[in-house]
Chains A and B, each alone.
Chain A
Amino acid sequence: MSRVAIFGAGAVGIRVARHLLAGGSAVHVDRVVLRDVDPERLSGALAVLDAAASEGRVEVELAPFPDRVDADVIVVATPRGTQLAAVRDALSGGIPVVLSGDGLAETVAVSRLADEAGERGVPVVLGAGFAPGLSGVLAAHARSWFDHVDEIHIAKAGAGGPACALVHHRALSRLSYDWRSGGWRRRPGGSGRELCWFPEPVGPMDCYRAALPDPVLLHHAFPEVERITARMAATRLDRLTAPLPMLSPTHVEGGVGAVRVEVRGRRGSTQDVRVLGVAERPAVAAAAVAATTVEWALDGRLRVRGMASLPEMVEPVAFLHTVADRGLVAEIFEGEHAVV
């Protein structure tokens, strides 16, 4: 009997629960435990998961939470500032963790628990969302086209729920970290404008440096790559207001977003480039990726019994096929202006 605990019943958490309870995959999840500090969110989740809840397959836990979690896998989809403690608690119980966070500082803080995860032999998947997450798997897949990869450039557009929007807002005013020629380059967020063509319907958008965790996770996965950067789509108003607190409440959920992964390298004696991408609402995509990762964890298919990023944990082609069944179709850009 498999049991999955989901911390955070927001835009991502509820959808992860829905995927896991829907069935149709090789791995059956019997019960889902949803934890949140907001009773309204939990009652909304119960309404969404009505059929499974009426069968007794959904439990909800409102703060204050019990000390121990009875689960086979824990999904951490909570707002920034709460993820480190959640991962630490899960590790102390020896329970595998799937973390869908996209904040740089918190991802780095969680990565410091890598030794403990390795010693305990507990899989902890960092960045199991849209970006980081699917972006890294696309990079791993694109890498198979090359004999040697020189550069990986990630761009993303759009935000999931309000917590994700807040992380994006702050990221534009923080330092970004790019990996270049054996060292980290710190650059101001909001700088380095680059026009990136995302899959339709998102299309071309100006992207800027931001405090994103993708380069950190990708460098861990692909230490031989000489240059790794990440950019985020933003408007001029986003950049102008980034240093200020968010003055107006965010939407419940953003619209369609996208990730774009550009991989440059050598094949034989020629230089080549591959551009892969996916367009979807970020929370929908993050939930599909996280749910698939949970199923792989339950099935014992994760490749590392310790802490690692998603592209290190999964076989890319099989993973992309699985998420495609959930509506996340990877695309490739072909044409003279593949690199803009």
Chain B
Amino acid sequence: MRMIRRAIAALAAAATMAAGLRMAGGAPVERQSGGWRPLEGPDLT
């Protein structure tokens, strides 16, 4: 019985941690190269 209780507690703790991490998310992904520039000129190229 004690083992079952411990297993349930461990599962609940793991689920809580996983849910927290899932909701909070990780650090944003940094751009590696490239970028935005305004379209320019009469033809907007």
Interface residues in chain A, defined as those with a beta carbon under 8 Å from any beta carbon in chain B: 141, 195, 197, 199-200, 203-204, 235-237, 276-277, 317, 320-321, 329-338
Interface residues in chain B, defined as those with a beta carbon under 8 Å from any beta carbon in chain A: 22-23, 25, 28-29, 31-39, 42-44
Nearest to A276 among chain B residues (CB) is: B39
Alpha-carbon distance between A276 and B39 when the two chains are bound, in angstroms: 9
Main SS at interface, chain B: loop
Alpha-carbon distance between A333 and B23 when the two chains are bound, in angstroms: 30
Nearest to A275 among chain B residues (CB) is: B36
Nearest to A200 among chain B residues (CB) is: B36
Number of A-B residue pairs at CB separation under 8 A: 54
17 contacts across the A-B interface (CB closer than 8 A): A141-B44, A195-B29, A197-B31, A199-B36, A204-B31, A235-B25, A236-B23, A317-B43, A317-B44, A330-B39, A333-B34, A333-B35, A333-B36, A334-B36, A336-B33, A337-B32, A337-B34
Please give me the 10 A-B residue pairs with the lowest Cβ-Cβ distance, nearest first. A335-B34, A331-B36, A199-B36, A330-B39, A335-B33, A336-B33, A329-B38, A331-B38, A337-B34, A333-B36
Within the complex, the shortest CB–CB distance from A52 to chain B, in Å, comes to 31
Alpha-carbon distance between A235 and B23 when the two chains are bound, in angstroms: 9
Nearest to B25 among chain A residues (CB) is: A236
Alpha-carbon distance between A200 and B31 when the two chains are bound, in angstroms: 11
Within the complex, the shortest CB–CB distance from B16 to chain A, in Å, comes to 15
Within the complex, the shortest CB–CB distance from B21 to chain A, in Å, comes to 11
Q: A203 and B38 in contact (CB under 8 A), knowing A237-B23, A317-B43?
A: no
